[in-house]
């Protein structure tokens, strides 16, 4: 058996994936259900091997600003937290979006609002996809449905954030963070040398050595006319991302009469619900958005053609459903089934909701 095939929790897998990507630094503060990220990094001691910095900051606010500082010098830096901790990081995230810096942020969502519960939730969809912090910005938001995707999206998230110079977020839930599955880890990549960082990130504060003009990293611009130009530049980049980076998965959409739209681990539960429904003769398919921003609206519009209805299944009171309704222009009924506060729906419960929608 390949030595690189392992059984691990999603959170643990992120730690391995970060080291293997050649991540330069992780700055975090523990919170359930994602504390294993920091714990695993501390146990793996990458500072002894790749030289990656792992630091438990004094707070979430400190951690995100350490990421800001590292990113400003062109480093591949990341942080992770769960819902209440991610709220604390929003100021730093907005600043990084404004300063056009790459970074990776993992949110393993738990039930809210407030301190809420420690059980799985998807109630931070709005926060992740509609801004979260202040100002006109977007994060690239990736929603993993398996432990393997937790691994794969570390590299994807870093690559996209460096390509478009904006922070990327992995929006996971407690299920993906806590369950163990088979994973194949990528090979170890060396961390970039200082020269490589200078070449890849000519904007970074890497030391000018008298050879180039000063690089200034800031999100502050007091002249409105200049600030508008910066905003237009950001918006142009978001349009580029929308054009190039939409990702989704479809299962049995061709012959279906109905669609489930669900993201993350809930899409997996919907897959089982789809199997159960089809055994009863109800033809249902699934669209699983993988990028929540940019949202796969055109894919959903296309998949919905000729369908009788869509059931959005989410661990929230109805958040992604707004984007789904916009995608299909309300041409077909779009219903919602949500469980709140950390409760996970079972496949049979989802089938029951589908039947209710069909009979209404």
Partner 1 sequence: MKVEIIIAGFGGQGVLSMGKILAYSGLMDDKEVTWMPSYGPEQRGGTANVTVILSDDKISSPVLDSYDIVVALNQQSLDKFVPRVKSGGILMYDTSGIHKRPERNDVKVYPINAMEATLEIGNPKAYNMVVMGALLEVMPYKLPMENVVKGLKKSLPERHHNLIPLNEQAIEKGRGLI
Residues near partner 1, by CB under 8 A:
1, 5, 7, 33, 118-119, 174-175, 178-182, 265, 268-273, 275, 344-349
State the Cα–Cα distance between residues 36 and 132, nearest whole angstrom: 25
Residue 117, burial from CB neighbour count under 10 angstroms (0-12, 13-18, 19+): middle
In the sheet that holds 77-81, the strands lie side by side as 53-56, 25-28, 77-81, 104-109, 168-173, 140-142, 291-293
Distance in Å, CB of 223 to partner 1, minimum: 51
Phi first, then psi, for residue 27 (nearest 5°) are -130, 120
Distance in Å, CB of 58 to partner 1, minimum: 25
Distance in Å, CB of 347 to partner 1, minimum: 6
Inter-residue contact 255 to 283 (CB < 8 Å) = yes
Closer of 34 and 65 to partner 1 (Cβ): 34
260: part of which helix (H) or strand (E)? strand 258-261
Q: Residue with structure tokens 């407030």?
A: 114
Closer of 157 and 345 to partner 1 (Cβ): 345
Distance in Å, CB of 31 to partner 1, minimum: 14
Closer of 247 and 272 to partner 1 (Cβ): 272
Phi first, then psi, for residue 78 (nearest 5°) are -145, 165
Q: How many CB atoms lie within 10 A of CB 311?
A: 25
Distance in Å, CB of 262 to partner 1, minimum: 11
Distance in Å, CB of 178 to partner 1, minimum: 5
Closer of 296 and 345 to partner 1 (Cβ): 345
Closer of 332 and 344 to partner 1 (Cβ): 344
Closer of 41 and 327 to partner 1 (Cβ): 41
């Amino acid at each position: 058996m390949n030595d690189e095939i392992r059984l691990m929790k999603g959170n643990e897998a992120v730690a391995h994936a970060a080291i293997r990507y050649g991540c330069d630094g992780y700055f975090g503060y523990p919170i359930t259900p994602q504390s294993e990220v920091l714990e695993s990094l501390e146990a793996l001691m990458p500072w002894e091997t790749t030289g990656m910095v792992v630091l438990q900051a004094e707070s979430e606010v400190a951690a995100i600003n350490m990421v800001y500082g590292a990113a400003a010098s062109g480093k591949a830096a990341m942080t992770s937290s769960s819902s209440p901790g991610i709220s604390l990081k929003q100021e730093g995230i907005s600043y990084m979006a404004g300063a056009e810096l790459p970074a990776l942020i993992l949110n393993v969502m738990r039930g809210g609002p407030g301190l809420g519960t420690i059980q799985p939730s998807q109630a931070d969809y709005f926060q992740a996809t509609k801004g979260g912090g202040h100002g006109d910005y977007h994060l690239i938001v990736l929603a993993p449905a398996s432990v393997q995707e937790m691994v794969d999206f570390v590299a994807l998230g870093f690559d996209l954030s460096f390509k478009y110079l904006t922070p990327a977020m992995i929006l996971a839930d407690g299920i993906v963070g806590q369950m163990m599955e088979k994973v194949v880890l990528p090979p170890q990549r060396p961390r970039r040398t200082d020269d490589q960082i200078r070449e890849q990130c000519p904007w970074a504060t890497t030391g000018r050595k008298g050879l180039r003009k000063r690089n200034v990293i800031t999100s502050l611009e007091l002249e409105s006319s200049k600030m508008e130009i910066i905003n237009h530049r950001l918006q142009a980049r978001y349009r580029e991302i929308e054009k190039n980076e939409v990702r989704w998965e479809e299962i049995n959409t061709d012959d279906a009469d109905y669609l489930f739209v669900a993201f993350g681990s809930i899409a997996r539960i919907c897959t089982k619900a789809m199997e159960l429904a089809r055994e009863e003769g109800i033809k249902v398919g699934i669209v699983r958005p993988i990028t929540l921003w940019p949202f796969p609206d055109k894919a959903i519009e296309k998949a919905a053609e000729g369908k009788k209805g869509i059931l959005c299944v989410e661990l929230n009171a109805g958040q992604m459903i707004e984007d789904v309704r916009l995608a299909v222009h309300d041409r077909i009924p779009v219903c919602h089934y949500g469980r709140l506060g950390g409760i996970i729906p079972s496949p049979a419960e989802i089938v029951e909701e589908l039947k209710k929608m069909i009979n209404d």
